[in-house]
């Protein structure tokens, strides 16, 4: 009884992540008056909303601060990759320059000229840079943060947006110190740099600022992973899920956070894909919407950086071929997804159906118990749950190969 209660609480929490209380009430009402078919329309609208949610990230700082390198690192690109932000060029434009995510075009990163390179005040700067369209700001400095940086941060805060201070090129600074000194303590030196940044920002009027020390060329080290976590935590739930899926797979923790995001979509897709009638496995293709199932698995691959574009970018960086990376993953799910593959997944899903019943029965608070163990809903739910788990394992294997190559 305790396990069922725990599953219900978890599922209800996941439901409220994407739905307002008003939408949850409408789900219940629609089901009571029109059954599953009426519920499907709201779910289709919500899935479309998730797919079309835009995220705009503004990165600002003076010329040479490392804005372009940070934008590339957040997109999983190197400076030589197609579509990468140009690195090391002289800043000549006063206009924001946008860069789309390689596989998620609704996510855009904006390179804004540093306020020190313009004639604008902090207030007029934000107006000229179209402040309202950005979800948050990253203020980058390669050395000391300036009074202009602090003024900009205060103006951003006044207007109700989040901002983050990033001290870039920490790897170069530490390497120089390491070469100059007989004894060197990396942690202690990072602490000194961080304290200096915090102190100077404090004197400029920013109380208790958090400063992230990063290297855009080593995104799995220093404060880069902590920065990515902080950026996601500062967003509303739907945009946070979009941001997490847009992250490069720099460590296992990010892959597992992506799994948490994707698993929350499975129950919606399952209701959209099937009805509630009992079905035999041979009738799987008729009872479940193959288009939704195939599309979901393709979207899972994209979110987990297992699509061909992401694998090609990774292959170029590691010196391996896409075929090598796919071979390391050892999964039929990285090839073409067809109806026979879905049926094959369905045959395997029968064995795991019982294990997901406890969760699936409570996915929609108040109405979820209608879905029985023999429903096409549960079959679809099982298939997608199994597919996601296999793809997460693939992503972890590919990450291990990439780290080994690097």
Strands (E) across 241-347 are located at none
Residue 353: pLDDT band with limits 50, 70, 90: very low
Tens digits of residue pLDDT in 160-181: 999 999 999 999 999 999 888 8
Instruction: Tell me how far CA of residue 294 lies from CA of 243, 299, 311, 377, in angstroms.
Output: 23, 9, 19, 15
What angle is formed at CA 203 by the lines to CA 202 and CA 208, rounded to 5 degrees? Answer: 10
Tokens of 149: 């940086």
Comparing 27 with 158, the larger pLDDT belongs to 158
Sign, Cα dihedral of 348, 354, 359, 364:
positive
SS3 assignment, position 212: strand
Segments making up each domain of the chain, as ranges: 2-52+249-405, 55-244
Tens digits of residue pLDDT in 250-298: 999 999 999 999 988 887 888 777 655 444 444 444 556 788 888 999 9
Tens digits of residue pLDDT in 298-344: 999 999 999 999 999 988 888 888 888 888 888 888 988 888 888 77
> What mean pLDDT comes out for the span 30-43?
72
Rounded Cα distance between 344 and 330, Å, is 16
**What pLDDT is attached to residue 68?**
92
The structure tokens 């059954």 sit at: 35
Architecture of domain 55-244: 3-Layer(aba) Sandwich (3.40)
Instruction: Tell me how far CA of residue 23 lies from CA of 11, 45, 292, 389, in angstroms.
Output: 16, 11, 22, 29
- What's the predicted TM-score (pTM) here? 0.83
Instruction: Tell me how far CA of residue 105 lies from CA of 55, 101, 109, 352, in angstroms.
Output: 10, 6, 10, 35
**What pLDDT is attached to residue 211?**
96
Residue 21: pLDDT band with limits 50, 70, 90: confident
Query: Within its chain, how far is the Cα of 291 from the centroid?
Result: 24
For the chain, percent of residues with pLDDT exceeding 70: 81
**What pLDDT is attached to residue 285?**
46
């Amino acid at each position: 009884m305790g396990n069922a209660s725990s599953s219900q609480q978890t599922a209800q929490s996941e439901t409220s992540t994407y739905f307002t209380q008003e939408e949850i009430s409408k789900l219940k009402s629609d089901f009571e008056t029109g059954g599953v078919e009426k519920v499907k329309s709201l779910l289709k609208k919500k899935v479309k909303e998730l797919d079309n949610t835009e995220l705009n990230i503004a990165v600002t700082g003076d010329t040479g601060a490392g804005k372009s390198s940070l934008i590339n690192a957040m997109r999983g690109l190197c400076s030589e990759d197609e579509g990468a932000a140009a690195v090391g060029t002289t800043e000549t434009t006063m206009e924001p320059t946008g860069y789309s995510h390689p596989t998620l075009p609704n996510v855009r990163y904006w390179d804004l000229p540093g306020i020190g390179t313009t004639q604008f005040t902090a207030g007029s700067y934000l107006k000229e840079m179209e402040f309202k369209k950005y979800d948050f700001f990253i203020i980058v400095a390669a050395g000391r943060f300036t009074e202009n940086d602090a003024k900009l941060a205060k103006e951003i805060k006044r207007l109700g947006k989040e901002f983050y201070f990033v001290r870039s090129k920490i790897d170069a600074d530490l390497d120089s110190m390491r070469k100059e000194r007989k004894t060197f303590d990396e942690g202690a030196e990072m602490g000194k740099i961080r304290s200096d940044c915090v102190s100077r920002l404090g004197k400029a009027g920013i109380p208790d600022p958090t400063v992230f020390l990063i290297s855009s060329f080593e995104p799995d080290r220093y404060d880069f992973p902590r920065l990515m976590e902080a950026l996601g935590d500062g967003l509303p739930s739907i945009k946070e899920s979009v941001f997490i899926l847009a992250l490069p797979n720099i460590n296992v923790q990010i892959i597992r956070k992506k799994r948490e995001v994707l698993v929350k979509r499975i129950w919606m897709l399952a209701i959209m894909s099937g009805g509630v009638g009992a079905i035999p496995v041979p009738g799987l293709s008729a009872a479940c919407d193959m288009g939704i199932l195939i599309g979901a698995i393709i979207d899972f691959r994209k979110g987990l950086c297992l699509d061909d574009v992401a694998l090609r970018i990774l292959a170029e960086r590691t010196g391996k071929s896409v075929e090598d990376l796919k071979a390391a993953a050892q999964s039929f799910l990285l090839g073409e997804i067809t109806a026979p593959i879905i049926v094959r997944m369905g045959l395997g899903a029968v064995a795991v159906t019982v294990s997901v019943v406890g969760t699936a029965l409570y996915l929609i608070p108040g109405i979820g118990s209608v879905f029985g163990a023999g429903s096409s809903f549960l079959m679809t739910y099982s298939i997608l749950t199994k597919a996601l788990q296999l793809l997460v394992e693939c992503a972890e294997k590919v990450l291990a190969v990439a780290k080994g190559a690097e």
